[in-house]
Structure 1
Amino acid sequence: MYIVFDVGNTHMCTSILRNDGFVLETFRKSTDEKTTEDEFFTFFKSMLEVNEIQIDEIKGMMVSSVVPMVTQMLKFFAKKYFNIDIFIVDMDKHLPFVFEEGNNSKGMGPDRIIDIVQALKEYPDRNLIIFDFGTATTYEVLKKNVYIGGGIFPGIRTTFNALFGRTARIPKVDYCEIDTVLGKDTVEQIQCAIFNGYIGQVKYLIEKIKEEVGEDFFVIATGGLSKIMGEKVEEINICSSRLSIRGIYTLYKMNEKINK
Structure 2
Amino acid sequence: MYIVFDVGNTHMCTSILRNDGFVLETFRKSTDEGMTEDEFYTFFKSMLEVNEIQIDEIKGMMVSSVVPMVTQMLEYFAKKYFDIDIFVVDINKKLPFTFEDGNNPRGMGPDRIIDIVQALKEYPDRNLIIFDFGTATTYEVLKKNVYVGGGIFPGIRTTFNALFGKTARLPKVEYCEIGTVLGKDTVEQIQAAIFNGYIGQVKYLIEKIKEELGEDCFVIATGGLSKIMGEKVEEIDVCSSRLSIRGIYTLYKMNME
Residues of 2 paired with 1:191 and 1:49: CA distance?
Answer: 40
Residues of 1 paired with 2:41 and 2:56: CA distance?
Answer: 15
Instruction: Give the secondary structure class of the aligned counterpart of 1:201.
Output: helix
Following TM superposition, by how much is the alpha carbon of 1:56 offset from its aligned partner in structure 2, in angstroms?
4.2
Instruction: Give the secondary structure class of the aligned counterpart of 2:137.
Output: strand
Among all aligned residue pairs of Structure 1 and Structure 2, give the percentage whose two residues are the same amino acid: 90
Aligned twin of 2:139: 139
What amino acid does structure 1 have at the position aligned with 2:175? Answer: Y
Following TM superposition, by how much is the alpha carbon of 1:190 offset from its aligned partner in structure 2, in angstroms?
0.2
Residues of 2 paired with 1:200 and 1:209: CA distance?
Answer: 14
Q: Is 1:229 aligned to residue 229 of structure 2?
A: yes
Residues of 2 paired with 1:59 and 1:52: CA distance?
Answer: 19
Aligned twin of 1:13: 13
Aligned twin of 1:243: 243
What amino acid does structure 2 have at the position aligned with 1:131? Answer: F
Instruction: List, as ranges, runs of 4+ consecutive aligned residues in structure 1 with deviation greater than 4 Å.
Output: none
1:81-92 pair list within 5 angstroms: 81-92=81-92
Residues of 2 paired with 1:212 and 1:189: CA distance?
Answer: 34
What amino acid does structure 1 have at the position aligned with 2:41? Answer: F
**Per-residue CA distance 1:57-116 (angstroms, 9 max, x = gap):** 221110000000000000000000000000000011000000000000011000000000
1:103-118 pair list within 5 angstroms: 103-118=103-118
Residues of 2 paired with 1:123 and 1:54: CA distance?
Answer: 33
Structure 1: gaps (5+ residues): none
What amino acid does structure 1 have at the position aligned with 2:188? Answer: E
Q: Is 1:189 aligned to residue 183 of structure 2?
A: no
**Per-residue CA distance 1:167-220 (angstroms, 9 max, x = gap):** 000000000001200000000000000000000000000000001111000000
Aligned twin of 2:61: 61
Following TM superposition, by how much is the alpha carbon of 1:55 offset from its aligned partner in structure 2, in angstroms?
4.6
When structure 1 is superposed on structure 2, of 130-139 and 44-53 the one drifting more is: 44-53
What amino acid does structure 2 have at the position aligned with 1:42? Answer: T
What amino acid does structure 1 have at the position aligned with 2:153? Answer: F
**Per-residue CA distance 1:33-60 (angstroms, 9 max, x = gap):** 0000000000011122234444542211
What amino acid does structure 1 have at the position aligned with 2:208? Answer: K
1:69-88 pair list within 5 angstroms: 69-88=69-88
Instruction: Give the secondary structure class of the aligned counterpart of 1:106.
Output: helix
What amino acid does structure 1 have at the position aligned with 2:13? Answer: C
RMSD over aligned CA atoms reads 0.8
1:204-219 pair list within 5 angstroms: 204-219=204-219
Superposition TM-score, scaled by structure 1 size:
0.98
**Per-residue CA distance 1:105-134 (angstroms, 9 max, x = gap):** 011000000000000000000000000000
Residues of 2 paired with 1:93 and 1:255: CA distance?
Answer: 7
Instruction: Give the secondary structure class of the aligned counterpart of 1:57.
Output: coil
Instruction: Give the secondary structure class of the aligned counterpart of 1:24.
Output: strand
Residues of 2 paired with 1:159 and 1:51: CA distance?
Answer: 35
Residues of 2 paired with 1:26 and 1:69: CA distance?
Answer: 22
Aligned twin of 1:119: 119
**Aligned residue pair count:** 257
Aligned twin of 2:46: 46
Residues of 2 paired with 1:218 and 1:45: CA distance?
Answer: 40
Residues of 2 paired with 1:70 and 1:34: CA distance?
Answer: 8
Superposition TM-score, scaled by structure 2 size:
0.99
Aligned twin of 1:199: 199
Structure 2: gaps (5+ residues): none
